[in-house]
Structure 1
Amino acid sequence: MLFVTSATGKAQLFGLSSDAGGQWELAWEEPSTQCNYFGQCGPNGICDASASPMCGCLEGYVPKSPSRWASENWTDGCVRKTGLDCRNGTDGFVVVHQAKMPESAIPTPTPSLAECRLACLRDCSCVAYANDGGRYGCAIWLNDSLWDVVRLDGFDQDLYVRVASSYLDSRVQPHRKKHKKVAILVSLLLGALVLTTACVACVLKKRKTRLRGKIDTKRITKLSTGKSNESTTVDTDIPSFDFATIETATDYFSAANELGQGGFGTVYKGKLSDDQVIAVKRLAATSLQGTDEFKNEVNLIAKLQNVNLVRLLGCCIEGTKERMLIYEYMPNRSLDAFLFDKEKGALLDWGTRYQIIIGIARGLLYLHHDSLFRIIHRDLKASNILLDNCMNPKISDFGMARLFGGDETDFNTRKIVGTYGYMSPEYAMEGIFSLKSDVFSFGVVILEIISGKKNRGENAPSPYLNLVGEAWSLWTTGQCFTLVDESMSKNLSENEVLRCIKVGLFCVQEHPEDRPLMSSVIVMLGADVASLPEPKLPGFAARVGQLDLDKVSKKHDSSTSNELTITLDGR
């Protein structure tokens, strides 16, 4: 028997046939259907493996891009047909039977389904609710979190999707004669639409074929590592863009299209000929760490699909010098651009910040527990959290990420990489990283989101105390609300703020075994603050002034086999 994992993330088991030739035959694979892939039908879509086509829109929604939907490209998902009327409380719900609940659920301490419905109606960002079958009895979904809804035969679960009252009224059948006329008209229109859509799909397919080279094999090319007679292959089946296409899209990498720079190179905004806006991460020729990061990011993120992870659209490789990653464009850039700027920070009210915290937690939960590959990010920070047009967070930059085996709990590395201020004590001092290393970084990010301050740097709380230390000091003296960003004085939920501060401190504990897993963090963020365990003294809180880059560097200089790559400021 032979067990393999394909480049698309399928676990497959092969066995030798009894024929004389002894050919390998597929005996088992998981996911067994296309619906088992996350986000197969995009946001607000529903997947049914027994239907043809397998993807449809949830009731009350229509395809966002009818032409792409008609050509069975469902990644854009669906949008609401009729806007909600939250203020007047007239919205209602339609039920989706036999539905597997999306993983982005938020448990809510509400004992009955009826009270769960009312809780959803009171929250204008709530789009669905269901019985979670767990300790709370209620789960809700907020904003654009209805991803990966799957209809399963024999699955006893109902999902209640929020719709406008006008949509519910439209479901009532009119007079038969009028209905017959409408049906004839709709049939004629649909016939014309199908014909038009087929023509548009044909044109788009030809254009796409001309602009984007499809991969015939699962190996894109060999990339030079900068060392003589040494090369490395990248195993993936993501689309490949040709260099001329990216040049045109970015106006020949003009300075006006620059979005930012980092150790890897420059990120540019671009627009393809079909008006799709993209972000192009171009590896600098002088970058020492970029080649490894490029290969790592392509190999890892191509296998990951989650609403809270930035989506990789493809890559571009030209010879041995040009290497680029093509991402979905995030119009609001990165979280740090808002948090650490007084004017922009005022745009982030508490409700938005709280949803950002929840979104980051969901993304990490997927990486650590829910994806087929257990991933440790190793460089989680505010500048690596991107925001879409609805301020939904997406974790980015997987160049330093590591893949863990199923039975591995921690790992000791010879190369320390990351950003000082977000690194856990055991990683910064000993090179030991685990799932709990990301949890520590997440705790720092929570405290930064609440305070609007960096853990360290120019706008750190004081030259003698970092943000983690300040948060701990205020917590122990009962003054934790002093930590809150002054721009959030209105519409502040004190219970949620208190809960998030406590969870943040719990995540930055000195010892890894004292920190929670992300599965527990998700539950804590929806629990009563009094039920949460009391945090202990955080890591680095009492050692500011004793631990600095010079001392960390000296520690690793004593071992000639170790390398140290630390970023001082968010990039």
Structure 2
Amino acid sequence: MSEIPFFFFVILVVVLVNSVCLADDTLTPQQPLLDADGTTLLDAGNRFELGFFTSNDSSYRYVGIWFYNILPRTVVWVANRRSPLPDLSGRLSLITNGTLLLTSDNSTTVFWSSSDGSAPLRNPVARLLDNGNFVVGEEAEPNGYVAWQSYDHPTDTILPGMRFGRSMTSGLNLNLTAWTSLSDPTPGDYVMGINMDGVPEEFIWQGKRPRWRSGPWNGLYLSGSPEMVSENLVRYNFTVASQQFIYTYTLRDNSLLAKLTLIPSGEIQLRIWVEDSQQWTGRRDPMDSCEFISACGLNAICILNGSPMCKCLTGFKPKNSTDWDILRDWSGGCVRKTHLDCRNRTDGFFNQSNLKLPQTSSAVMRASLTLAECSRLCLNDCNCTAYASANVNGSGCILWTSDLTDIRFFFGGMGQDLYVRLAAADLIVAYAESRPSNKRRVGVIVAVTLAASFLLSCAALCIWRWKTKKSFVGEETEEKDLDLPLFDLDTIVNATDNFSIGNKRGEGGFGPVYEGRLSEGQEIAVKRLSTTSSQGVNEFKNEVQLIAKLQHRNLVRLLGCCVEAGERMLIYEYLSNGSLDKFLFDEVKSGQLNWKLRYNIIVGIARGLLYLHHDSRFIIIHRDLKASNILLDKDMNPKISDFGMARIFDGDENATKTKRIVGTYGYMSPEYIKNGKFSIKSDIFSFGVLILEIISGKKNTEFIAFDQHLNLLDYVWRLWRNDKALELLDETICPSFSMEQVIRCINIGLLCVEERCEDRPTMTSILLMLGSENTLLPEPRQPGFVSRDLQEGDSTSIMKCACSNEASITILEAR
């Protein structure tokens, strides 16, 4: 008899499991979706699933749609991304008028509603289709009228067949908004939409600032994405008119799964699921530095891997040659060599090929004109600066009436022709230079140009010699070879109120730093070399010449220098928030650094180091990376500063030895202190220490003062081995943080401070680890304990000094 109840028990379990696991594709007013039951909707083709889910680092609950049976879960739509549920009490209901409501059994709050003012339905039903669209319509018309659909309310992803774009006539505006992070569906910083000003284009905005644009549709591809032509698996369909810009994409093989997503970093990912390898594959935009808006300023072309990266359009010259040639600051763009002469009708057009067309916000499209008609129209309009074909088949044209911006060059014959208006003199030179066979003509032009340049150079040299002799007497040996704009001493004295205490913002290892304001209103930071400083002329020149070659958003920008009357000063851009250490190690200010800010600072420093180690023209080792040398702008973006100790390598050389040990105790690598050997892995060690300081809010050096047996690296290593790594986290940022990100960053920090330099990762690997949350990280080995290395040598006095004052030090070994 005892077996009978057991039999019925098994039957009951099977029924319950089936009721939970087997999902329908339909939601009715009589059958809501309850989070507590664990039920989901599954489309008839078993491709998409709709239900409740939670992000990895919180208990909040969301209603979303994801690909069925693909791990890790890939969410493509979220209903309540702005209003998550706090627990498992969620209920998704379809009420009798056809409105979807997301509520909680524990409250009367409506967390999300699909109501859009459409006419009520008689017998509503909501159904998940096999294309991932969640639709509401009449039960009796499954393929008829749609009152509401998720396709009209995209979040961060476009699926095949889904519309994206904007129509001014219907009011349709379908934007994408990225997630805050890979595990947080709340709206992030980046939005992708259509800019309808001028000729419509796709844009990605970071807040209100444009970050990327697609270029106009030319009938075959978006002007800035010629690789679309080679995508054999995808078909694009664009509807472009003066009042609308809407497109969809479809797959040539409908059995495949695909998604186009605006990811949290502000990039567009097109991904196609490969069943055999169980992986996503595809491409992403922006892919390189030339794809960012105005990378080269006005009237300039960005050439990927070019040297330099930016080049003026033919007939144009740099607006500021010093910024352009020395500082590699191309933001000022280019200006015409010769003014146009429209009234006398001597202007003409020069064809510049293989380009992404300029930004079209102020451009005009003429769909009915031929290219020849467009040329005449532009020539007769004195405001017209350029024109191009609107369609690759030759029909229609686009006309520009302002400066040309955000142009890039494509290799391999890709890109479009742009006809730029030039003055007659520049047009002659341009045509001559484009026809190398016409040597005599080129020779005459070159000879005339050289003669004029020689006369101008002589005049400029005389003026320069007169000014130099007057203003910089006695400083010729120091300012020679600086190759950077020189500020006179009176300008700096006036800007800093005669180096007043009120303008002093800090004291570095080589002297004080002052805030100043030039007469035209520009704020500057002045690094004044102390007369007792260990930084001599060579270090000063090293910092000037080195940083003048660097141009990156995560490196501080050097504006010029002052060498006069025994003074040596560096003039930097002013960064209003000062150095990172002023926030990180201050009990009050540290509360302003939430986890998101700290994580962005870590990533920003990593990007700056990647540029120094791999992406600049030289391999540059900073050698003094620390919190006080990380400056923060008004938006708390980090910039690496103080290159007085940096070393530059050319070619394949990337490491060396020295008897002159410079740097800051607590950040120097073991091999550097013991053997004088430094390489890019020395900076990696410093970066690892910096990561752990940013997470903990504690100085590596001062940690020794708190405990005679442990420094910060020892302490972190003990926590890691005992599975207590989260105890490292600065208590001021709890509880608002991503546990997964914190653990990942601690892991990366420990990998960076490993004993053997060859075991430490490169900056390329570090950025990959920071950006790929699904990548499995290596298990770290025991760190290189700097305290132990110093105790082994004869440097106890240096350790004592370092504990009381974080200053850059120099150790000279006996010969």
Aligned residue for 2:641? 396
Structure 1 residue corresponding to 2:268, chosen from 129, 145, 148: 129
Judge which range, 526-535 or 415-424, deviates more.
Answer: 526-535
Aligned residue for 1:351? 596
Query: 1:461-517 deviations in whole A, cap 9, x for unaligned?
Result: 633211111111111111101111111113311111111111110000000110011
How far the C-alpha of 1:217 sits from its partner, in A, is 13
Aligned residue for 2:113? none
Distance 2:649 2:548 in 1: 16
Aligned residue for 1:291? 537
Aligned residue for 2:449? none
TM norm structure 2: 0.46
Aligned residue for 2:715? 470
Query: 1:93-142 deviations in whole A, cap 9, x for unaligned?
Result: 852443699xxxxxxxxxx997552434xxxxx54435699997465789
Structure 1 residue corresponding to 2:547, chosen from 279, 301, 304: 301
The letter for the 2-side match of 1:379 is D
How far the C-alpha of 1:326 sits from its partner, in A, is 0.3
Aligned residue for 2:263? 119
The reply on whether 1:259 has 2:496 as its aligned counterpart is no
8 Å CA contact 2:260–2:271 kept in 1: the answer is no
Query: 1:369-426 deviations in whole A, cap 9, x for unaligned?
Result: 1111111000000000000001110000000001113222321101000000000000
8 Å CA contact 1:418–1:566 kept in 2: the answer is no
**What RMSD over aligned residues (CA atoms) do the two structures have, in Å?**
4.9
8 Å CA contact 1:376–1:401 kept in 2: the answer is yes
Secondary structure of the residue that 2:578 maps to in structure 1?
coil
Query: 1:217-265 deviations in whole A, cap 9, x for unaligned?
Result: 99x98998xxxxx966652432111111111111111110001112311
Aligned residue for 1:328? 573
Distance 2:647 2:195 in 1: 41
Aligned residue for 1:316? 562
8 Å CA contact 1:60–1:82 kept in 2: the answer is no
Q: Counterparts in 2 of 1:64-75, with a 5 A limit?
A: none
Secondary structure of the residue that 1:117 maps to in structure 2?
strand
Mark the CA change 1:528 to 1:314 in structure 2 (over 3 Å): closer, same or farther: same
Secondary structure of the residue that 2:568 maps to in structure 1?
strand
Query: 1:25-76 deviations in whole A, cap 9, x for unaligned?
Result: xxxxxxxxxxxxxxxxxxxxxxxxxxxxxxxxx99699xxxxxxxxxxxxxx
Structure with more strand by fraction: 2
Q: Counterparts in 2 of 1:120-519, with a 5 A limit?
A: 120=264, 126-129=265-268, 137=282, 146=292, 148=295, 150=302, 234-319=480-565, 321-457=566-702, 462-519=707-764
Mark the CA change 1:329 to 1:139 in structure 2 (over 3 Å): closer, same or farther: farther
Aligned residue for 1:32? none
TM norm structure 1: 0.63
8 Å CA contact 1:279–1:329 kept in 2: the answer is yes
How far the C-alpha of 1:540 sits from its partner, in A, is 0.3
Structure 1: tracts of 5 or more residues without a match: 1-57, 63-79, 102-111, 121-125, 162-166, 174-186, 195-212, 225-229, 555-563
8 Å CA contact 2:515–2:524 kept in 1: the answer is yes
8 Å CA contact 1:472–1:541 kept in 2: the answer is no
Distance 1:260 1:423 in 2: 23
Q: Counterparts in 2 of 1:17-32, with a 5 A limit?
A: none
Mark the CA change 1:82 to 1:422 in structure 2 (over 3 Å): closer, same or farther: closer
8 Å CA contact 2:205–2:211 kept in 1: the answer is no
Secondary structure of the residue that 1:478 maps to in structure 2?
coil
8 Å CA contact 2:555–2:639 kept in 1: the answer is yes
How far the C-alpha of 1:351 sits from its partner, in A, is 0.8
8 Å CA contact 1:223–1:233 kept in 2: the answer is no
Distance 2:777 2:663 in 1: 30
Aligned residue for 1:17? none
Structure 2: tracts of 5 or more residues without a match: 1-192, 198-202, 216-222, 228-255, 273-278, 297-301, 305-351, 366-382, 385-401, 404-462, 809-815
8 Å CA contact 1:215–1:239 kept in 2: the answer is no
> Which of structures 1 and 2 has the bigger CA Rg?
2
How far the C-alpha of 1:544 sits from its partner, in A, is 8.0
How far the C-alpha of 1:84 sits from its partner, in A, is 4.5
8 Å CA contact 1:426–1:433 kept in 2: the answer is yes
Distance 2:615 2:737 in 1: 32
Judge which range, 486-495 or 476-485, deviates more.
Answer: 486-495
How far the C-alpha of 1:365 sits from its partner, in A, is 0.7
How far the C-alpha of 1:522 sits from its partner, in A, is 1.1
Distance 1:439 1:507 in 2: 6
Mark the CA change 1:118 to 1:132 in structure 2 (over 3 Å): closer, same or farther: closer
How far the C-alpha of 1:284 sits from its partner, in A, is 1.3
The letter for the 2-side match of 1:95 is S
Aligned residue for 1:526? 771
Distance 1:113 1:329 in 2: 50
Secondary structure of the residue that 1:342 maps to in structure 2?
coil
Judge which range, 493-502 or 386-395, deviates more.
Answer: 493-502
Secondary structure of the residue that 1:417 maps to in structure 2?
strand
8 Å CA contact 2:744–2:770 kept in 1: the answer is yes
Distance 2:196 2:525 in 1: 28
Distance 1:477 1:401 in 2: 38
Mark the CA change 1:543 to 1:131 in structure 2 (over 3 Å): closer, same or farther: farther
Distance 2:623 2:804 in 1: 12
8 Å CA contact 1:222–1:233 kept in 2: the answer is no
Secondary structure of the residue that 1:237 maps to in structure 2?
coil
Which one scores higher on RCO, CA 8 angstroms, separation ≥ 6? 1
Aligned residue for 2:806? 569
Aligned residue for 2:41? none
Mark the CA change 1:146 to 1:98 in structure 2 (over 3 Å): closer, same or farther: closer
Secondary structure of the residue that 1:465 maps to in structure 2?
coil
Distance 2:583 2:805 in 1: 19
The letter for the 2-side match of 1:129 is I
How far the C-alpha of 1:269 sits from its partner, in A, is 0.5
Distance 1:343 1:138 in 2: 44
The letter for the 2-side match of 1:302 is A
Mark the CA change 1:287 to 1:84 in structure 2 (over 3 Å): closer, same or farther: closer
Judge which range, 232-241 or 508-517, deviates more.
Answer: 232-241
8 Å CA contact 1:367–1:376 kept in 2: the answer is yes
Distance 1:95 1:442 in 2: 36
Secondary structure of the residue that 1:543 maps to in structure 2?
helix
Secondary structure of the residue that 2:788 maps to in structure 1?
coil
Counting aligned pairs with the same residue, the percent is 49
Secondary structure of the residue that 2:690 maps to in structure 1?
helix
8 Å CA contact 1:242–1:316 kept in 2: the answer is yes
Secondary structure of the residue that 1:423 maps to in structure 2?
coil
Secondary structure of the residue that 2:702 maps to in structure 1?
coil
The letter for the 1-side match of 2:268 is Y
Query: 1:167-207 deviations in whole A, cap 9, x for unaligned?
Result: 99x9999xxxxxxxxxxxxx89xxxx99xxxxxxxxxxxxx
Distance 1:260 1:61 in 2: 48
Distance 1:490 1:114 in 2: 36
8 Å CA contact 1:420–1:568 kept in 2: the answer is no
